[in-house]
Homo-oligomer: A and B are copies of this chain.
Amino acid sequence: MFGVTVLGNNSAVPAFGRHPTSQVITTSGGKFLVDRGEGTQIQMINYKIRRSRISHIFISHLHGDHYFGLIGLLNSFALLNRTQKLTIVGPEILKTIIDLQFKVADTVLPYELEFLPVNSGGYITTVDNIEIRSFATDHRIACYGFVFKEKKNLRKIDIQKTSFHNVPYSFYHHLQKGADYKDENGLIIPNEELTTSAGPSKKYAFCADGRYNETIIKHIEGADMIYHETTYLDNLADRAFMRFHSTTRQAGRIAENAGVKKLLIGHFSSKYDSLDEFLSETQEVFPQTQLALEGVTYLI
């Protein structure tokens, strides 16, 4: 399973039942959060996403609608007696803000909080099979997109064959990585006999907030899915530029030029009640577009 669940799809001010930006990325190795607008903790409860499964939180930039809900979640983890390590990835000054808020509350966290600063784009970390990199977007303040890429997909076990050859379950993870199996008689059974080939490795890019910006294309190209913001409809391209945001058609052009398979759009301005035109305008440029709807999980 490699998918993204949308918790919030609205820009700045909450409106029409829509919440500020937050996504959950589910991988074979655990769950990541990307951005953390206020109130998304309650969204996680509503959508029955187990908070304890979150191992990493990525914050794209320090506009409030992308991180004001972070401190509340960290606090809840403390109150729920989390012990497992949590890693936060974000602009370096975020660590100062978090530390100050825990200091004034006299809170000592029961879990290890690791902080990985993102002050320029590039490699961040690898979690199990997923390599994570960041790239700068063109926003009013420093802002980063994130690319989540399966390093190599695991080969698929052929259960009938492994049963026939009595391969113990404990050896399966070696098989998935391509190892041959030596049975009790010393006979070597080639990996190709016991597994089928892995599918191609998948790639998801979260393009955060920002203006239309072709320099991001090299980072996201060929992705199976990207999320790109569409704060405004096409007729407000001037306003989008002035406010360092993008329109429907601009998001479509980025997806088209980057040769991605699917485009997810969100960060809708609070001035729009209906989202229909966001979808139709973007699909005119890039047909494989979907609205990022809250509570929906999109397979990558």
Contact = CB atoms under 8 A, between A and B. Distances in A.
Interface of A: 12-15, 19, 38-39, 41-42, 45, 62-65, 68-69, 71-72, 75-76, 79-80, 91, 93-94, 96-97, 100-101, 104-106, 140-141
A97 B104 contact: yes
A14 B140 contact: no
A101 B166 CA distance: 60
Contact of A38 (B63, B72, B91, B141): B72
A175 to B, nearest CB: 42
A105 B64 contact: yes
**Assembly of this chain: how many copies?**
2
A95 to B, nearest CB: 11
A141 B14 contact: no
28 contacts: A12-B76, A13-B79, A13-B80, A14-B42, A15-B45, A19-B42, A38-B39, A38-B41, A38-B69, A39-B39, A39-B42, A62-B101, A62-B104, A63-B105, A64-B71, A64-B75, A64-B105, A65-B72, A65-B75, A68-B68, A68-B71, A68-B75, A91-B104, A96-B100, A100-B100, A105-B141, A106-B140, A106-B141
Nearest to A19: B42
A68 B97 CA distance: 12
Contacts of A71: 64, 68
Contacts of A104: 62, 91, 93-94, 97, 141
A45 B14 contact: yes
A57 to B, nearest CB: 16
Contacts of A106: 140-141
